[in-house]
Amino acid sequence: MGIRLRDFRGNLYTDSMSRLFLVLLFTSSLLWGADFSDIPGESTRGDAMLESYFEKETRKVAARTSALIENAEDWPSTKAMLRRQLFEMLGLQPLPARSPLKPKVTGTVERDGVIVENIVFQSRPGLYVTANFYRPAKAEGPLPTVLYLCGHGKVKIDGVSYGNKVHYQHHGNLFARNGYNCLTIDTLQLGEIEGEHHGTHRNGKWWWNARGYTPAGVEAWNSIRALDYLETREEVDADKIGATGRSGGGAYTFWISALDERIQVSVPVAGITSMANHVVGGCIEGHCDCMFMVNTYRWDFPLLASLIAPRPLLIVNTDDDRIFPLDGVVDVFSKTRGVYEKLGARDRLGLALYQGGHKDTQPLRVPAFHWFERHLKGKSIDFEMENTIAPKPYEPDDLRVLSEIPENQRNTFIDDYFTRRVPRSLQVATTESDWVSERALIMNRLSSRSFRGWPGGNEDLSLSQEYSAERDGIAFSKWSFDSQGGVRLPFYLAAREGTSLAELDLVVINALDEEGWVDFLGGIGAAFPEAFPEQNLPDLDEVAFASERKMHAAQKWGMLYLPPRGIGPTAWTDDAKEQIHIRRRFALLGQTLDAMRVWDIRRGIQAFREMEGSAEPQLWVQASGAMGGNALYAALFEPDIHRLDLHELPASHRDGPTYLNVLRFTDLPQIAAMVGERSQLRIYSAKPKDWSYLTQHAKAFEWPAKQVQIREAMGTEKAK
């Protein structure tokens, strides 16, 4: 597939300063004028559609961000709104309680005029933060202090993790030698207690999206509590605290600086780039989940940087960084500059670049220290710095905090409790008015928190018939419609030969997953090969086709087969790793693949209803697995669905389908109850008890016996 990591033309120029000048002059043309169609290798229709889709959606997100920045006449009010959104997108809404930190100093080492204290505190009960506190051995009064946030620098020896603070020790040591305190804190994944950053990146934890969880939220919260700790230290001037870090630490510097005004000066190094770089250019593939918020409100990254204004902000990067490309860094800087200019603080925003790739180098440290000297110590812009060499004088054991892992630690499973979720045991409403209020609240949250990325307005479906034929008593036709701009999908209709839609008793819309698509092709699709000119068809399954013929001969039923995006004719890569990053791209755009498939099913239902005679037959919907969940949600938003047959439907969004934030306020049994009020439900499950909430709800509100039925799963057999 063509979605690959690219350097966005960064190699066209050999001189760094010339390159910077050209990028500054032509940022927008580089960003949006690039030809993203020159993909190496062969592309399927699904590949090309997906490439185009991601580019269009990225443009929308970038345009919205630009509009917010350019039209924000009352920036303080806009800033307050955006900060609330950011807290929420990091899983920090509501904000956790500031429980006792319980700090401990477990060891001290002194060398060359610098004292290092090994410190541990709990940002939440059982969530341990290991850190090193560097300070000058001789100091008069409280000092300016830097919170140093580590990137991904693993230090693990003989199975023992010493924390990435050991890798980044030279930064804290250098600050202390130059008259600062510096608290360097470990990250969740690479600390002495090893948590996880790669839930969706490689470990299949898509329920992180459903929980509204990101390890970026943990890093942000640990940073907030680190500031709380610094305020308790008599050596710290609490009015002169800055933050810096590189790579992952650069991203965390943006999080804490945007969220907490106690950060007076900010210097993120190699921690940000544009949405276009991540989604269209493929930089997302080089980043774990700690680099991203759950993008509910569909931000581009200049909004994050702009929240720091008007406090001093220096963005530092190299000019050939493959995971933070130059054009995206400059795009963020240029748009953020507009906010600083509006606030009369243009001199508090800077951009420092140096030649090279994604490395922690001395030339990057110098402008960072220079910025802190100016804005925390008040030195003039013309002063010369000495003592900028940064050695690593400490052995890992010198900086180790914990002799053993605490028994009550929650670092290794913080993802399971960091964000609030709907109770696993849902409680049935006791009165009709309570249920009406509960249902309205859920619908509001679904629209604003889970499906915000759906298209707005009523786009034309552009329904057209592309094929029709008859064989062995079956009339078969192919139709296409626009689910949204650039996403054109097919569906296939089979019915008794010589029977119009208006004469049918019912039409069953089959929302197909990949397995269902394969079964469809073999069962009836192969009987009409002309409808699939670009498809490698299997041999006709004579038994399945005979069953289909028998059904149509006996019943006035229509069977409509709908493959949502990424299934069948619009399938993209079958490479497992690339499929992961496709799903991550959707999430970074404030969508999920499942959420957009709900939209596809909705639009397929709407397209069917545009067909002549479609108002007469009952409309049923059938699907399996996670696609069954998508079909359930489509029925929630589309009226007049008479019945749903859902096979092997997961009982919780933890097992799919995945929508942003959904587990924070509802789960599948509750949605089934909402749909079941107006549509009959047949749920085929291997564990009927998982649906006790639904059956209890039906009993409490005296539904007819046929309204909802939980049946034993029948394997691959589908109900007719």
CATH code, 211? 3.40.50.1820
Q: Are residues 409 and 477 in the same domain?
A: no
Question: What is the domain count for the chain?
Answer: 2
Tell whether 136 is covered by a domain.
yes
Give the start-end residues of each E strand in 532-610: 557-562
**199 pLDDT tier (thresholds 50, 70, 90):** very high
Q: Are residues 392 and 479 in the same domain?
A: no
Residue 715 has pLDDT above 60, yes or no: no
Q: Are residues 117 and 238 in the same domain?
A: yes
User: Per-residue pLDDT tens for 408-418?
Assistant: 999 999 999 99
Q: Are residues 395 and 539 in the same domain?
A: no
User: Per-residue pLDDT tens for 217-228?
Assistant: 999 999 999 999
- The pLDDT of 378-391, averaged and rounded, is 75
Q: Are residues 564 and 708 in the same domain?
A: yes
User: H or E segment at 33?
Assistant: helix 16-33
CA–CA separation, 377 and 375 (whole Å): 6
Q: Are residues 222 and 292 in the same domain?
A: yes
Percent of the chain with pLDDT over 90: 87
Two structure tokens written together for 154: 């693993």
Q: Are residues 188 and 284 in the same domain?
A: yes
- The pLDDT of 180-187, averaged and rounded, is 98
Residue 40 has pLDDT above 80, yes or no: no
Tell whether 17 is covered by a domain.
no
Task: Give which of 367, 249, 270 is closest to 328, Cα–Cα.
Answer: 270
Residue 597 near residue 523, CB atoms below 8 Å: no
**44 pLDDT tier (thresholds 50, 70, 90):** low
Two structure tokens written together for 588: 């970074």
Task: Give which of 534, 515, 517, 538 is closest to 526, Cα–Cα.
Answer: 538
**DSSP structure string for 662-691:** GGGT--HHHHHHHHHTTSEEEEEES-GGGG
User: H or E segment at 174?
Assistant: helix 169-177
**Amino acid (1-letter code) at residue 225:** R
CA–CA separation, 44 and 465 (whole Å): 22
Identify whether 310 is preceded by a cis peptide bond (ω within 30 of 0).
yes
Q: Are residues 394 and 472 in the same domain?
A: no
Quote the pTM value.
0.92
Q: Are residues 470 and 406 in the same domain?
A: no
Tell whether 357 is covered by a domain.
yes
Q: Are residues 142 and 253 in the same domain?
A: yes
- The pLDDT of 338-359, averaged and rounded, is 96
User: H or E segment at 116?
Assistant: strand 114-124
Q: Are residues 397 and 478 in the same domain?
A: no
Residue ending a domain, among 394, 416, 438, is: 416
Q: Residue 97 sits in which domain range?
A: 75-416
Tell whether 127 is covered by a domain.
yes
**71 pLDDT tier (thresholds 50, 70, 90):** confident
Note the pLDDT of residue 510.
98
Tell whether 245 is covered by a domain.
yes
Residue 37 has pLDDT above 80, yes or no: no
Q: Are residues 408 and 480 in the same domain?
A: no
Residue 437 has pLDDT above 80, yes or no: yes
Distance of CA 147 to the CA centre of its chain: 27
User: Per-residue pLDDT tens for 226-281?
Assistant: 999 999 999 999 999 999 999 999 999 999 999 999 999 999 999 999 999 999 99
CB neighbour burial string for 356-385, b if at least 16 within 10 angstroms, e if fewer = eebebeeebbebbbbbbbbbbeeeeeeeee
Two structure tokens written together for 32: 């949006």
Residue 443 has pLDDT above 80, yes or no: yes
Two structure tokens written together for 578: 């690339």
Residue 5 has pLDDT above 60, yes or no: no
- The pLDDT of 91-118, averaged and rounded, is 97
User: Per-residue pLDDT tens for 470-484?
Assistant: 999 999 999 999 999
Residue 23 has pLDDT above 80, yes or no: no
Residue 38 has pLDDT above 50, yes or no: no
Residues in the chain: 720
Note the pLDDT of residue 15.
33
